[in-house]
């Protein structure tokens, strides 16, 4: 018999759907002691929350997250709302003794992130942040190959996250649909939204970053604000680039933008080591490109590993070798690992403290760009 774990989810947008799907699927594919129960969904509009609850099978709705957090029948609070709401909800949830799962980036900035870390650690509640790309099987395989030492000493880590959806200067900022363009709701632009993913993966695969030198740009300086109706200054970064040094001596090169015409979600990373290189591309997420210089010269070349075999990470839980899975499965894997962590007492990562380290890199990027100088990354 599985043990029920009552989920109260806040926000029913893009991530609300991805998480709901993961809770619904996880026990079908993974053998686990715990079983998420879709107990309540919370959103400000009762009608919309009810429609979502009916579609996804939530038992009840709330319109005020504070009420949800206080409910005795909720074990876990899942935060799927804009970045400026994460801290208040997470701290209240931890105070009420709930497990807390929070979408990325953890917070608006490092100081806020630290308060969240302290809250969950003081309350000793299980916690995790949804940096889901770690659980794309090809990315998990990259981690395995690096940990086995196949790449040897690492020289370069290169990552990009490119989109093109904000080029139109007539696009307003703020409000329900466009909170990502409003610095008060988002905290930053592509730095917290896109680079955050690249940095989480990089710290996981390649260890801490010591120092960075960044530049950011806001190409469209003013946009109409959906909440005030007035044309207002744009406070987010539209593009961010940085170079840096990892603690292991390798060099970092990172870029993200929403102004790369033709690119929708082109997250790529490449790692060059002494013996081997690895390349991954979100648009082709089930493949890992691998080059090993130690191969015999005649057949040496980039191999494209189709990460679908039963002995590849997570893939034994899905279909037969050769059949691919997709984006949504990374969330199923993250829930599976979280629930397994409850069983084994070995928490799934990234927890709040781990995600706080990413937040400190985000702070360093914005500081470096603002002050136009190298910045040492604080250690969390």
Ligand X SMILES: NC(=O)c1ccc[n+]([C@@H]2O[C@H](COP(=O)([O-])OP(=O)(O)OC[C@H]3O[C@@H](n4cnc5c(N)ncnc54)[C@H](O)[C@@H]3O)[C@@H](O)[C@H]2O)c1
Q: Give residue 97's region: left, alpha or beta (phi > 0; psi -120 to 50).
A: left
Site for ligand X (CB under 6 A): which residue of 11, 137, 187, 380? Answer: 11
Choose between 42 and 90: whose C-beta lies nearer to ligand X.
Answer: 42
Of 182, 209, 205, residue with least CA distance to 193: 182
HSE, side-chain direction, 13 A CA sphere, residue 188: 31
DSSP codes of every residue in 285-309:
TTEEEEEETTS-GGG-S-EEEE--S
Alpha-carbon dihedral 87, 93, 98, 99, rounded to 10 degrees: -10
Residue 24 CB, nearest approach to ligand X (Å): 17
252, 123 Cβ separation under 8 angstroms: no
Interaction of residue 132 with ligand X, rule CB under 6 A: yes
Interface segment toward ligand X; rule CB under 6 A; list 76-84, 141-149, 311-319, 362-370: 76-84
For the beta carbon of residue 263, count every other beta carbon within 10 angstroms.
Answer: 18
Residue 79 CB, nearest approach to ligand X (Å): 8
Q: Please report, as residue ranges, which positions from 33 to 72 form the binding site for ligand X (by CB under 6 A).
A: 42-44, 65
Interaction of residue 208 with ligand X, rule CB under 6 A: no
271, 252 Cβ separation under 8 angstroms: no
Interaction of residue 10 with ligand X, rule CB under 6 A: yes
Site for ligand X (CB under 6 A): which residue of 69, 80, 94, 332? Answer: 80
3-state DSSP assignment of residue 11: coil
Interaction of residue 109 with ligand X, rule CB under 6 A: no
- Closest residue to ligand X, based on beta-carbon distance: 13
Choose between 235 and 303: whose C-beta lies nearer to ligand X.
Answer: 235
Choose between 101 and 307: whose C-beta lies nearer to ligand X.
Answer: 101
Interaction of residue 165 with ligand X, rule CB under 6 A: no
Interface segment toward ligand X; rule CB under 6 A; list 4-12, 28-36, 108-116, 117-125: 4-12
Choose between 290 and 331: whose C-beta lies nearer to ligand X.
Answer: 331
Q: Please report, as residue ranges, which positions from 325 to 364 form the binding site for ligand X (by CB under 6 A).
A: none
Interface segment toward ligand X; rule CB under 6 A; list 29-37, 77-85, 162-170, 223-231: 77-85
Residue 253 CB, nearest approach to ligand X (Å): 22
Interaction of residue 85 with ligand X, rule CB under 6 A: yes
Alpha-carbon dihedral 120, 126, 132, 133, rounded to 10 degrees: 90
Task: Report d(CA 341, CA 27) in Å as an integer.
Answer: 15
**What contacts 237, CB < 8 A, 6 or more positions away?**
188, 189, 190, 191, 216, 217, 218, 366, 369
Size of interface with ligand X, in residues (CB under 6 A): 22
Inter-CA distances, 18 with 132, 258, 282, 305, Å: 11, 22, 17, 26
Which residues sit at the interface with ligand X, rule CB under 6 A? 10-16, 42-44, 65, 80-83, 85, 103-104, 130, 132, 176, 193
């Amino acid at each position: 018999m599985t043990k029920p774990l009552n989920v109260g989810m806040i926000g029913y947008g893009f991530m609300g759907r991805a998480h709901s799907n993961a809770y619904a699927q996880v026990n079908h594919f993974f053998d686990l002691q715990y079983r998420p129960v879709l107990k309540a969904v919370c959103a400000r509009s009762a009608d919309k929350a009810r429609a979502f609850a009916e579609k996804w099978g939530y038992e009840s709705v709330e319109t005020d997250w504070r009420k949800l957090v206080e409910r005795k029948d909720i074990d876990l609070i899942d935060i799927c709302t804009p970045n400026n709401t994460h801290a208040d909800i997470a701290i209240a949830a931890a105070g009420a003794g709930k497990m807390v799962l929070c979408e990325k980036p953890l917070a608006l900035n490092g100081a806020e992130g630290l308060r969240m870390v302290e809250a969950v650690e003081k309350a000793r509640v299980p916690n995790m942040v949804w940096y889901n790309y770690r659980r794309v099987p090809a990315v998990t395989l990259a981690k395995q190959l690096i940990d086995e030492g196949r790449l040897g000493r690492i020289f370069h880590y290169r990552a990009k996250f490119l989109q093109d959806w904000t080029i139109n200067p007539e696009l307003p900022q703020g409000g329900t649909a466009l909170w990502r363009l409003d610095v008060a709701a988002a905290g930053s632009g592509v730095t917290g939204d896109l680079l955050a993913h690249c940095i989480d993966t990089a710290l996981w695969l390649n260890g801490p970053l010591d120092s960075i030198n960044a530049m950011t740009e806001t190409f469209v300086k003013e946009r109409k604000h959906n909440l005030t109706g007035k044309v207002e200054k744009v406070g987010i970064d539209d593009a961010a680039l940085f170079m840096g040094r990892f603690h292991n001596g390798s060099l970092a090169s990172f870029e993200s933008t929403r102004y790369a015409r033709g690119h929708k979600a082109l997250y790529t990373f490449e790692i060059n080591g002494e013996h081997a290189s690895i390349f991954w591309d979100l648009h082709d997420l089930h493949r890992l490109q691998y080059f090993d210089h130690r191969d015999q010269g005649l057949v040496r070349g980039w191999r494209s590993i189709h990460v679908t075999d039963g002995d590849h990470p997570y893939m034994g839980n899905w279909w037969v070798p050769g059949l691919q899975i997709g984006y949504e499965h990374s969330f199923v894997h993250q829930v599976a690992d979280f629930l397994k962590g409850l069983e084994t007492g070995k928490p799934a990562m990234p927890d709040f403290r781990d995600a706080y380290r990413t937040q400190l890199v985000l702070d360093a990027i914005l500081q470096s760009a603002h002050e136009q100088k190298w910045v040492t990354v604080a250690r969390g």
